[in-house]
Amino acid sequence: MGATKVRTQVAIIGAGPAGLTLSCLLHGAGIETVVLENRSRRYVEERIRAGVLEQGTVEVLEAAGVGERMHREGIVHHGIYLQFAGERHRIPLSDLADGRSIVIYGQTEVVKDLIEARVNAGLELRFGVADVSVHELETDLPSVRFTHEHEQFELECDAIVGADGFHGVCRPAIEQHLRVFSREYPFAWLGILAAAPPSSDELVYTHHERGFALLSLRSPERSRLYLQCAADERLDEWPDTRIWDELHRRVSLDGWTLVEGEVLEKGITPMRSFVTEPMQHGRLFLAGDSAHIVPPTGAKGLNLAISDVTVLAEALIDSYRSGNRSGLAEYSRTCLRRVWRAEHFSYWMTTMLHQLGEDPFDNQLQLSQLRYIVSSEAAARTLAENYVGLPLGHRAVAAD
Ligand code: RFL
Ligand code: PHB
């Protein structure tokens, strides 16, 4: 039996932060979208990932109409700590970066808010689709084929957005047109969510001879903690007692205690840097993790996904309203400026804070850089303005 033909304006593959935010922004401008997700709603809503929102991301989510709970439950932070050589130093982000701040609000919560908004508006969002493939990308009528609840569909549209993450199908479909830049790191992060109040009022990034550690949080009752581990580490080698012991060893300070609690979730995240150029081919546009990956040390992945779709939404809206396609033609170039800045920052934070290997020379360079950041306002400001996120206006300036 043939596929059922359906039609929309913009087909969005992937219901992560990139795809969902784009669908929301386009809906606000009266543009019709269909969002296709291969996982279940529950899986997507429970996948624990990022926690740090840049101010620019917060503003985009507000503009998309999903800011209400984020403002109520998100926690505004004005600084972070860097810990090394047995001392903890505060970097006053807001003082150094024109008053800008970050908001602690889990990616899971952002995704729940976006899904709820879409479902409440009665807009099309299909979970559990299979066999997704993209076609006719070099024509004016591209299409997406997929199966949903045992029925085959062909979705015709004006443009397809590949917001299907690093392991999706969109990037591979155009890989012969792409150039890839990548770097793997010989370590990973072991992350836990614990039923424990945060031990520190602000995030603590720790450089330690036993490896990097990070104290983060999700709410006044939930801590999110990370440890550097080997790239090939197995989770069953890390019973909860070993995780807490290791955290204590890396982060403890005289007169300060790490609060323990029940471990609610744990996982290992590989570390990788990856960029594909360009981020578009014909009528297919890649956004978020499908186009680029950063190691999580700079807290940039989710924020980059949101800035990509902000650029893409503006370009699509412009092309529908005025027929002007120059924003779409420039999409990749506009995004890549910001992407490479975040790539560099994430690489820099990662290589400054993790144990890189046996060479003591690396360790001395790291300590020297850390001492410089906490003693020079210029160096601290460089960290601060990248961490809180360069304003979106930076795109226009940098693109000149
Ligand atoms: P996502 O979130 O991976 O969403 C892609 C969606 O596409 C679906 N999909 C498909 N759908 C249909 N058909 C197919 N064939 C499909 N193949 C895949 C997937 O199921 C999924 O739902 O990508 P998106 O939207 O680009 O968002 C990117 C962010 O998720 C990611 O960059 C961040 O989580 C990275 N990240 C962090 N970013 C930050 O900005 N700040 C942080 O503090 C931060 N911490 C982190 C992080 C990522 C981590 N992990 C686990 C990778 C901490 C960790 C531990
Ligand atoms: C998190 O809370 O999950 C988190 C915070 C900061 C990072 C990475 C992850 O750099």
Say yes or no to pLDDT of 400 above 70.
Answer: no
Classify the C-alpha dihedral 242-245-248-251 as positive or negative. Answer: negative
Which of 224, 304, 353 should be mutated for ligand 2, with most atoms under 8 A from CB? 224
How many Cβ atoms from other residues are within 10 Å of residue 7's Cβ? 14
User: Cβ(297) to ligand 1 under 6 A?
Assistant: no
**pLDDT on residue 396:** 40
pLDDT at 88 over 90: yes
The closest alpha carbon to 52, from 89, 93, 95, 6, belongs to: 93
Residue whose CA is closest, atom 26 of ligand 1? 288
Q: Ligand 2: does its nearest atom lie under 6 Å from the Cβ of 51? A: yes
Catalytic annotation present for 43 = no
* Alpha-carbon span 388 to 2, nearest angstrom: 51
CA dihedral 57, 58, 63, 66 (to 10 degrees): 110
Structure confidence by residue, pLDDT tens digits, 173-220: 999 999 999 999 999 999 999 999 999 999 999 999 999 999 999 999
- Residue 318 contacts residue 370 (beta carbons within 8 Å): no
- One-letter amino acid identity for 17? P
Ligand 2 centroid to residue 11 C-alpha, Å: 31
Q: What is the pLDDT of residue 390?
A: 84
**Which numbered ligand comes closest to the C-alpha of 11?**
1
CATH level 3 topology of 4-77+101-181+272-356: FAD/NAD(P)-binding domain (3.50.50)
Catalytic, 296? Answer yes
- How many angstroms does the Cα of residue 205 sit away from the middle of ligand 2? 10
Nearest to 351 by CA among 229, 182, 186: 186
- Is residue 216 within 6 Å of ligand 2 at its C-beta? yes
The DSSP result for 127-156, as a single string, is -S-EEEEEE-TTSSS-EEEEEETTEEEEEE
State the average pLDDT over residues 21-44.
98
How far is Cα 354 from Cα 83, in angstroms, rounded to an integer?
12
Bin 146: left if φ > 0, else alpha if -120 < ψ < 50, else beta: beta
Contact 50 CB / ligand 2 (< 6 Å): yes
Please report the pLDDT score of residue 394 as a whole number: 44
Q: Which segments of 67-210 are extended strands (E)?
A: 75-77, 80-84, 87-91, 102-104, 125-126, 130-135, 143-148, 151-156, 159-162, 179-195, 204-206
Summarised one tens digit per residue, pLDDT across range 239-288 is 999 999 999 999 999 999 999 999 999 999 999 999 999 999 999 999 99
**Is there a catalytic annotation at residue 387?**
yes
From 105, 296, 331, 354, active-site residue? 296
Whose tokens are 């699509």? That residue is 316
Q: Tens of pLDDT along 92-142? A: 999 999 999 999 999 999 999 999 999 999 999 999 999 999 999 999 999
Q: Delimit the domains of the chain by residue range.
A: 4-77+101-181+272-356
> Known catalytic residue: 5?
no
Map residue 106 onto helix, strand or coil: coil
77 is an active site residue: yes
Ligand 1 centre distance from Cα of residue 47 (Å) = 9
Q: pTM higher than 0.75, yes or no? A: yes
